[in-house]
Amino acid sequence: MIERISSGGPWEDEFGYSRAVMAGNLALVAGCTATVDGKVVHVGDPYEQTRTAFQIALWSLERLGLTRNDVVRTRMFITRAGDSADVGRAHGSLFKHVRPAATVLVVAGLIDPRMLVEVEVEAYRGES
């Protein structure tokens, strides 16, 4: 069984994707940025942008009945290598005790130059 959810974000309909997809026991959350109500927030602050992006991803998981404790992988795409410490610290503030597999990649840019980080999350629903 596959379940798809939308956040109502501006690009979901235009680009044809879901905010999150639950496929069996695996939940996949599409890339999330610090975009709230269509506006980039915390401009210039990689720590707060990372926390906001992950909070959006975690909200999506909650809609699928999962929590941060179910997260098994995270990916962080950053536009400036020098932000890696702040991004890592933000990740640790949310996942220190969960300890998912994690990747940080430096990319040339994101869809809006004010965005410093985009995150992806994967979670697994174990047997109850």
Mean pLDDT of the chain: 95
What is the pLDDT, as a whole number, of residue 66?
98
CA angle (26, 97, 117) in 5-degree steps: 70
What is the pLDDT, as a whole number, of residue 25?
97
pLDDT band at residue 104 under the 50/70/90 scheme = very high
Tokens standing for residue 124: 């697994």
Q: Which residue ranges form the domains of the chain, and what is each CATH number?
A: 2-124 (3.30.1330.40)
Is residue 18 within 8 A of residue 42, CB to CB? The reply is no
Residue 40 CA to residue 113 CA, distance in Å, equals 10
Render pLDDT for 40-70 as a digit per residue (tens, 0 to 9): 999 999 999 999 999 999 999 999 999 999 9
For the four alpha carbons of 69, 73, 76 and 81, in that order, the dihedral sign comes to: positive
Query: pTM value?
Result: 0.94
Share of the chain above pLDDT 90, in %: 88
What is the pLDDT, as a whole number, of residue 64?
97
Render pLDDT for 7-47 as a digit per residue (tens, 0 to 9): 877 778 889 999 999 999 999 999 999 999 989 999 999 99
pLDDT at 128 exceeding the cut of 60: no
Mean pLDDT value across residues 78-88: 98
Residue 48 CA to residue 88 CA, distance in Å, equals 11
